[in-house]
Structure 1
């Protein structure tokens, strides 16, 4: 049985989260489309909040 791909917005959010965890700048967002960019930035912001709260070990 084939695995379903995650939709693009879910992937954008996950990639933004990973970028935030690794400490990359939000200026490095690879998406140009407004909706995908918004999801990426949402993931990035979530990761920063998690880092500041001490949920992520550096």
Structure 2
């Protein structure tokens, strides 16, 4: 059971990261669940930071 939960949250983080790299706004988060939304936003913030540091264009 725990593995499935971790996989979903990991996927949410990855999806948020991809969204951030793609230039999407954080308001476009597709998740309603608080944990998943938090992970998505964490990934999104990480991607925005990486883009601002010049790691991705």
Shared fold (TM-score, shorter chain, > 0.5): yes
Note the residue ranges of structure 1 that are not aligned, 5 or more in a row. Answer: none
* Number of equivalent positions: 53
Which structure is larger by alpha-carbon Rg, 1 or 2? 1
Q: Aligned-pair RMSD on alpha carbons?
A: 1.3
In structure 2, the partner of 1:35 is 35
Moved over 4 A (4+): none
1:7-55 C-alpha deviation (Å, 9 max, x unpaired): 1000000000000000000000000000000000000000000000001
Q: Which has the higher helix share?
A: 2
TM-score by length of 1: 0.87
